[in-house]
């Protein structure tokens, strides 16, 4: 069979360019311009998928993004296959490979279809009812089985090889949808000079006009008019037309997200081409021209392949040149289906009957159908569609005046078209928080008062006749441009089209004869929700439409009510005995259609996921083979292994080298803030727990900062450069937060202070030189600066030069050894490091990393904020009560520290722990209890915060926060671990050089 | 860190000394006059005279970019003008680096990083502001219709260069 | 993404800003003279209104200035932004109703 259903002379596909593709391994041919669905239909192939729950055979029911059934996976391989694409949107290209989903072993013969036989056992809410017991079965048995049986496509398993673009955009007028209303709006606003973005979901602008062979605009066929408008728009530099681009999210303050598909339709895209682009558009004004979706009718077997929306058949015929069958029966509640009938008839498709639910349809279109010799059956409904993997007939029956249904008659058909009227696409409007109002005449919800600067035009607000749609679009474009400050004239066109679609319609399940206990009439095809499910939900007590939605799953997932909403509402209203407008509406959630994860990630993956911050000394460390660790966004050298050393061995060696000679450490990542102004000391007094007034110029002090709640927030050494200038350091990770907190107090509480803050973190490269030999290495390099113990004692600083480079030299130590921190402008960091490195060769200078730094400071009992403290530790808890000024009347946190709870004797306090076995290193985070034999739950007294093997001491050490810890020094506590309990002795938290003799040399 | 496509180029900017000047607005006016840059620094705008360019980034903040050749004279004039008046002047020459971005795709490349409208009508030549570019802060200063100076903290430069490069490549499509 | 008018830089997207919580809660001048209850009130208790809130924002990725804003928490509509230090502006009923819309 080779495109036996292609209709020559119809459609916008290119008859000269035949395209080959495979579906479920079978080769097919289509034409350039086809979608996967239209090409399959051209080959008479309706069966495209199996349904979610019952595994029923399904074909395309629509021709657009509202398609619930024809979900396919496109591409091949573990990375390149994209699941859950709608065949109705997948554009054909040479070599396209697609497979159907949710079937086993094959689409035609699917074992899961037995679920249909079991349908009486699988009503709405069956998960909740059936799989309640035993509880333990849920995770291991029920959920995996359900997930395998009921589901959509399979997610790719390998990383996505494509890349995705991202773009912010700003415009005066954003138009969503390029059908007649959208084109008219874009043209009106574009001519006025407004910056316009026109986004169209499909491959081609034109919307319904591309499926319209009869209407004429200004005497031109509709499709040619579209081309004229597009040509004019293309000539306007202020207008951007984006096709294959879906407006999927309407966020606050007119920020609309668009998803543009760039390469999926290409057989051989350029290698650099992004697959998709995510746009975040901030629009002054928005025009929504999203159109309307035709509603299916709810009757038994309405999901059989070959049962389609009438408008879809028209689109396949007129846009793609495909007849969806040979012999059609049309069931309608609206005039628009008559136009479909006439088009099909003209194309040679037999229209066996038009069953109209209305008792006495009468309009120019109805008469035209009758005059064409078509059989029109007024007051007639459909009882069921017959068929398996393809429909082969329907049963039509009279609607009797008393409301009952007469005896049915079988009609042979391989195509059953249904038209329940139109539902305006109000999704974006609803997402924008606009209020929807029920239009009693149309029987649907339409946009009411908007919340954003937005307006709806055309079919998405229930305006259907072409002449009205164009005028409505043009008016919306003029209004939007005007609101954005551009005076515009409304373009006007004469329309020659008599059709008046959308005036009829039906909501709910069609009436039936008899009980039909086993009938499956689908409301939501995608989620396999039937009319009976909705009724059952009401019977079981669900009153709110939001609850009914969740219980039955109707309108959930990607459908978002596109196809199911109004019918579900109609059935619920009927069952509840309330009018539709009193039942309410469920929320339309973004995205309008699914969006690829890659598009959301866009550039933020791989190396560009986060900034990878490196210090000026990083190249040296890398050349030395350092192992790095992430600290915030910084990459810091963790240790410098030699030969085959592991971390433990390297750290032992590095520790001993510092204690015994000299080590060199890259401290550039430390946060630095320059606090400058006449009120600098006053400000420091208020921000830090310490007192600063008496700190002399050239002196340093350990600063501790609390938040107003009294808990330790950050710490660091602060040097006084001048009377009005402090060089403040912070922790590596705390720098932005400390600056923000300082700015907060300065700007909002003490704006009268003349002091300003400048981040200088990256101005300075910082080289820590630590160990007894540090002075000997450094002294010859500092251009004559006296760095003797007398001239530059512990906790002092000097400005000078090192090899001619300006330097701020801090005599500080985070190791407990004689130490210097050499600050030089960042560009010189690498060279100064090298000079010190060279100078230290004679004394075995050793580079060390953050791990060794941690061990050395723990030996001295120096805390690390965020390791010993956790946001609930006061300075006193952390053993830093000595830093808190008693003299100051106020500082941030002082009042909170005076609260009784902050002074309770059983607060967790910093202590040291020693294990009995010197080799045993406790686990950080391990809990401490009083008795080894305590019953569970044990009373936890505290936890281990830091734990290392100390090469210096030849044994393990640990720091811990323990309830009333300082009073427990000497006690034995216990660390319960899996299978055993470790006894520890509580000690003071300083393990090495308790007197600090090594510092003051 | 030197990238060039046919319609987008990224190159290190000319060497500059940099200072952050912070003070109350009236004091900044004094500084503007001391530097010969008019009676005030206009918000979010660049002003240049001689070796000194000043970018007013906030009500109390100006970023000074000085040609090294004339930097000392400019600084002396500034210090003289502000003597005895409360202010903060902090050197940040090495804190950040300057990147020159140019070419027909420069707007498109930047638009994939910043939520600010960079069209010339909204972001005219001479405008300067700090903004968020991807996940990094940067100061963006338009020096010509198709040219921007980007000032970023040193360690963020590779990230931003990489991001701009990718964005410019994507902008072709 | 909200569009927020920084009093100094004009309208910018929310991504450039950091919210600083409820505005016009002044730190007591002499905290140590406050009772524990008064201090806890200052430290922890916030209004969390359904409707107009005066709140602090910082243009964190812009001019780095704090400012105040009046926003309706139901609609995310901003009535206005204003500089730190200014009292909370009086809002007429029509403006408040528009913000609530």
CATH of domain A857-886+904-987: 2.40.30.110
Q: Which chains touch A (3 or more CB pairs under 8 A)?
A: B, C
Chain C residue at shortest CA distance from B62: C63
pLDDT value of residue A747: 98
- How would you classify the pairing of strands A327-332 and A415-419? parallel
CA-nearest of A528, A549, A526, A529 to A538 is: A549
Domains B3-13+95-171 and B17-91 are alike in CATH topology? no
Q: Which chains touch B (3 or more CB pairs under 8 A)?
A: A, C
Are A215 and A497 contacting, i.e. CB atoms less than 8 angstroms apart?
yes
Architecture of domain A296-420: 3-Layer(bba) Sandwich (3.50)
B131 touches chain C (CB under 8 A): yes
Q: Do A282 and C66 touch (CB under 8 A)?
A: no
CATH of the domain at C13: 3.30.2270.10
ipTM of this complex prediction, to 2 decimal places: 0.98
Q: Tokens 């095809």, residue?
A: A525
- Kindly state which CATH superfamily the domain B3-13+95-171 is placed in: Probable tRNA modification gtpase trme; domain 1 (3.30.1360.120)
Chain B residue at shortest CA distance from A736: B137
- How would you classify the pairing of strands A908-915 and A927-929? unpaired
Architecture of domain A521-596: Orthogonal Bundle (1.10)
Could you say which DSSP state residue C26 is in? P
Assess whether pLDDT exceeds 50 at residue B136: yes
Are C51 and C72 contacting, i.e. CB atoms less than 8 angstroms apart?
yes
Domains A521-596 and A857-886+904-987 are alike in CATH topology? no
pLDDT value of residue A50: 87
Quickly count: other Cβ atoms within 10 Å of residue A298's Cβ: 24
Select from B62, B114, B121 the residue whose CB has the most chain C CBs within 10 Å, as the one to mutate to test that interface.
B114
C62 touches chain B (CB under 8 A): yes
Q: Tokens 């005219």, residue?
A: B124
* Domain residue extents for chain B: 3-13+95-171, 17-91
Q: What is the dihedral of CA A791, A792, A795, A800, to 10 degrees?
A: 130
* Domain residue extents for chain A: 14-117, 166-292+424-489, 296-420, 521-596, 608-664, 668-842, 857-886+904-987
Q: Tokens 């920084």, residue?
A: C6
Quickly count: other Cβ atoms within 10 Å of residue A752's Cβ: 7
Q: Do A740 and C18 touch (CB under 8 A)?
A: yes
Q: What is the dihedral of CA A173, A179, A181, A187, to 10 degrees?
A: 50
B85 touches chain C (CB under 8 A): no
CA-nearest of A845, A815, A820, A772 to A950 is: A815
Q: Which CATH number fits domain A166-292+424-489: 3.50.50.60, 3.40.640.10, 3.40.50.920, 3.40.1550.20?
A: 3.50.50.60
One-character DSSP codes across A258-278:
EEEE-STT-SS--TT--SEEE
Domain A14-117 falls in which CATH fold? Ubiquitin-like (UB roll) (3.10.20)
Q: Which domain holds residue C14?
A: 3-26+34-100
Number of compact structural domains in chain C: 1
pLDDT value of residue A136: 67
Residue B120 is encoded by which pair of tokens?
A: 């010339």
Q: Do C63 and B58 touch (CB under 8 A)?
A: yes
Q: What are phi and psi of A943, to 5 degrees?
A: -150, 155
What are the beta bridge partners of residue A765? A824
Are A846 and A769 contacting, i.e. CB atoms less than 8 angstroms apart?
no
Q: Which of C1, C13, C63 sits opposite B130 (nearest CB)?
A: C63
Set of chain C residues whose Cβ sits within 8 Å of the Cβ of A751: 84-85
B122 touches chain A (CB under 8 A): yes
Average pLDDT of the residues of chain A: 94
Domain A668-842 falls in which CATH fold? Gyrase A; domain 2 (3.30.1360)
Chain A residue at shortest CA distance from C28: A749
Task: Say how far apart CA B137 and CA C60 lie, in whole Å.
Answer: 9
- Dmax over CA atoms of chain A, in Å, equals 114
pLDDT value of residue A1: 44
First-to-last alpha carbon distance for chain A, in angstroms, is: 95
Residue A998 is encoded by which pair of tokens?
A: 């090594």
| pLDDT tens, residue by residue, C23-82 | 999 999 999 999 999 999 999 999 999 999 999 999 999 999 999 999 999 999 999 999
Q: Do B95 and A760 touch (CB under 8 A)?
A: yes
- Report CA-CA distances (Å) from A432 to A343, A449, A557, A753: 38, 11, 19, 44
Chain A residue at shortest CA distance from B172: A273
Residues A558-571 as b/e (b if ≥16 CB within 10 A, e otherwise) read bbbbbbbbbbbbbb
What are the beta bridge partners of residue A717? A702
Q: Which CATH number fits domain B17-91: 3.30.70.1520, 3.40.50.740, 3.40.50.2000, 3.30.300.30?
A: 3.30.70.1520
B23 touches chain A (CB under 8 A): yes
CA-nearest of A170, A946, A678, A951 to B27 is: A678
User: Shortest Cα distance from C66 to chain A (angstroms)?
Assistant: 7
Positions of chain A with pLDDT under 70: 1, 104-105, 110-152, 517
B5 touches chain A (CB under 8 A): no
């Amino acid at each position: 069979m080779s495109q036996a259903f292609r209709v020559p002379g119809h459609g916008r596909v290119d008859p000269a360019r035949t395209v080959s593709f495979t579906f479920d391994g079978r080769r097919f041919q289509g034409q350039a311009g086809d979608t996967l669905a239209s090409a399959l239909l051209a080959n008479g192939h309706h069966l495209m998928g199996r349904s979610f729950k019952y595994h029923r055979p399904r074909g395309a029911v629509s021709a657009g993004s509202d398609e619930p059934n024809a979900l396919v996976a496109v591409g091949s391989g573990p990375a390149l296959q994209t699941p859950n694409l709608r065949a109705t949107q997948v554009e054909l290209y040479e070599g396209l490979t697609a497979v159907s989903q949710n079937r086993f072993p094959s689409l035609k013969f699917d074992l899961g279809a037995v679920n249909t036989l079991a349908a009486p056992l699988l009503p709405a809410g069956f998960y909740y009812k059936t799989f309640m017991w035993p509880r333990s079965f849920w995770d291991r048995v029920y959920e995996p089985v359900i997930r395998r049986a009921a589901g959509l496509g399979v997610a790719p398993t390998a990383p996505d090889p494509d890349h995705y673009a991202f773009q912010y955009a700003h415009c005066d007028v954003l138009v969503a949808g390029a059908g007649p209303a959208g084109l008219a709006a874009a043209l009106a606003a574009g001519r006025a000079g407004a910056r316009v973005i026109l986004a169209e979901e499909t491959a081609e602008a034109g919307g319904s006009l591309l499926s319209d062979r009869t209407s004429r605009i200004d005497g031109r066929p509709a499709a040619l008019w579209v081309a004229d408008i597009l040509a004019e728009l293309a000539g306007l530099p202020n207008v951007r037309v984006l096709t294959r681009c879906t407006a999927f999210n309407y966020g606050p303050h007119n920020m609309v997200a668009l998803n543009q598909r760039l390469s999926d339709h290409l057989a051989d895209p350029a290698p650099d081409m992004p697959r998709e682009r995510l746009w975040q558009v901030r629009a002054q004004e928005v025009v929504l021209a999203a159109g309307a979706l035709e509603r299916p009718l709810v009757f038994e077997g309405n999901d059989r392949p070959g049962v389609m929306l009438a408008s879809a058949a028209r689109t396949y015929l007129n846009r793609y040149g495909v007849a969806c069958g040979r012999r059609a029966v049309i069931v309608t509640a609206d005039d628009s289906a008559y136009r479909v009938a006439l088009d099909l008839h003209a194309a040679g498709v037999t229209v066996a009957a038009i069953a109209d639910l209305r008792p006495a349809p009468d309009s120019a279109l109805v008469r035209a159908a009758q005059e064409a010799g078509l059989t029109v059956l007024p007051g007639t409904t459909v009882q069921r569609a017959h068929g398996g993997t393809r429909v082969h007939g329907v049963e039509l029956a009279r609607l009797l005046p008393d409301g009952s249904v007469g005896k049915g008659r079988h009609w042979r058909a391989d195509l059953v078209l249904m038209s329940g009227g139109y539902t305006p696409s109000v999704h974006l409007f609803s997402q924008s928080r606009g209020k929807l109002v029920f239009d009693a005449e149309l029987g649907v919800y339409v946009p009411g008062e908007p919340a954003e600067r937005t307006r709806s035009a055309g079919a998405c607000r229930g305006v259907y006749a072409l002449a009205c749609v164009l005028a409505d679009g043009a008016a919306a474009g003029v209004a939007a441009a005007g609101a954005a400050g551009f005076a515009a004239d409304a373009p006007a066109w004469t329309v020659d089209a008599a059709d008046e679609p959308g005036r009829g319609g039906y909501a709910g399940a069609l009436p039936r004869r008899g009980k039909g206990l086993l009938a499956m009439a689908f409301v939501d095809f995608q989620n396999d929700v039937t009319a009976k499910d909705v009724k059952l939900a009401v019977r079981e007590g669900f009153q709110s439409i939001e609850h009914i939605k969740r219980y039955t799953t109707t309108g959930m997932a990607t459908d978002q009510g596109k196809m199911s909403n109004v019918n579900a509402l109609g059935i619920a209203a009927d069952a509840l005995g309330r009018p539709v407008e009193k039942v309410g509406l469920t929320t339309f959630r973004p995205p309008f259609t699914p969006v690829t994860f890659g598009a959301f990630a866009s550039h933020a993956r791989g190396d560009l996921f986060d900034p990878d911050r490196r210090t000026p000394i990083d190249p040296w460390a890398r050349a030395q083979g350092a192992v790095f660790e992430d600290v915030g966004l910084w990459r810091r050298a963790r240790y410098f292994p030699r030969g085959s050393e592991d971390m433990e061995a390297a750290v032992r060696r590095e520790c001993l080298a510092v204690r015994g000679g000299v080590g060199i450490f890259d401290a550039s990542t430390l946060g630095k803030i320059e606090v400058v102004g006449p009120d600098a000391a006053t400000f420091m007094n208020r921000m830090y727990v310490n007192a600063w007034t008496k700190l002399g110029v050239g002196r340093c002090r350990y600063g501790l900062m609390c938040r107003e709640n009294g808990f330790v927030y950050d710490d660091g050494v602060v040097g006084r450069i001048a009377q009005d200038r402090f060089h403040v350091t912070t922790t590596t990770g705390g720098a932005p937060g400390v600056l923000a907190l300082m700015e907060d107090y300065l700007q909002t509480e003490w704006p009268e202070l003349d002091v300003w803050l400048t981040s200088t973190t990256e101005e300075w490269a910082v080289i820590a030189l630590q160990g007894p030999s540090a002075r000997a290495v450094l002294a010859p390099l500092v251009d004559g600066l006296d760095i003797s113990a007398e001239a530059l004692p512990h906790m002092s600083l000097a400005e000078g030069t090192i090899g001619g480079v300006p330097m701020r030299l801090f005599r500080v130590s985070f190791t407990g050894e004689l130490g210097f921190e050499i600050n030089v402008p960042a560009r010189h960091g690498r060279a100064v490091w090298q000079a010190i490195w060279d100078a230290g060769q004679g004394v075995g200078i050793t580079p060390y990393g953050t791990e060794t730094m941690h061990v050395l400071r723990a030996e001295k009992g120096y805390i690390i904020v965020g390791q010993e403290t956790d946001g609930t530790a006061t300075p006193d808890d952390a053993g830093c009560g000595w830093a808190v000024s008693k003299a100051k009347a106020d500082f941030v946190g002082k009042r909170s520290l005076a609260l009784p709870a902050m002074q309770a004797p059983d607060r967790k306090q910093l202590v040291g722990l020693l294990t009995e076995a010197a080799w045993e290193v406790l686990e950080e985070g391990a809990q401490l209890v009083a008795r080894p034999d305590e019953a569970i739950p044990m009373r936890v007294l505290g936890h281990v915060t830091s734990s290392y093997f100390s090469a210096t001491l030849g044994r393990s050490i640990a720091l811990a926060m323990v309830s009333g810890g300082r009073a427990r020094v000497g006690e034995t506590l216990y660390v319960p671990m899996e299978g055993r309990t470790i006894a520890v002795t509580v000690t003071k938290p300083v393990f090495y050089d308790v007197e600090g003799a090594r510092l003051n040399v | 860190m030197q990238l060039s496509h046919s319609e987008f180029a990224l190159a290190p900017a000319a060497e500059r000394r940099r200072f952050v000047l912070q003070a109350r607005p009236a004091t900044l006016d004094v500084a503007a006059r001391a530097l010969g840059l008019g009676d005030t620094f206009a918000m979010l705008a660049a002003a240049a005279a001689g070796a000194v360019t000043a970018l007013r980034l906030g009500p109390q903040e100006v970023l000074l970019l000085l040609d090294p050749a004339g930097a000392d004279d400019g600084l002396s004039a500034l210090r003289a003008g502000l003597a005895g008046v409360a202010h903060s002047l902090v050197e940040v020459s090495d804190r950040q680096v300057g990147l020159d971005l140019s070419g027909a795709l420069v707007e498109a490349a930047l638009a994939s990083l910043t939520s600010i409208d960079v069209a010339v009508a909204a972001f005219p030549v001479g405008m300067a502001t700090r903004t968020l570019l991807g996940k990094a802060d940067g100061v963006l200063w338009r020096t010509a219709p198709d040219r921007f100076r980007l000032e970023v903290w040193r360690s963020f430069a590779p990230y931003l260069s990489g991001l701009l490069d990718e964005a410019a490549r994507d902008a072709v499509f | 993404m909200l569009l927020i008018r920084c009093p100094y830089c004009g309208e910018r997207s929310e991504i450039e800003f950091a919210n600083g919580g409820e505005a016009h809660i002044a730190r007591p001048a002499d905290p140590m003279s406050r009772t524990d209850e008064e201090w806890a009130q200052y430290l922890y208790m916030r209004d969390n209104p359904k409707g107009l809130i005066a709140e602090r924002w910082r243009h964190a990725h812009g001019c780095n200035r704090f400012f105040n804003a009046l926003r309706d928490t139901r609609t995310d509509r901003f009535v206005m932004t204003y500089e730190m230090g200014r009292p909370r502006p009086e809002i007429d009923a029509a403006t408040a109703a528009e913000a609530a819309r």
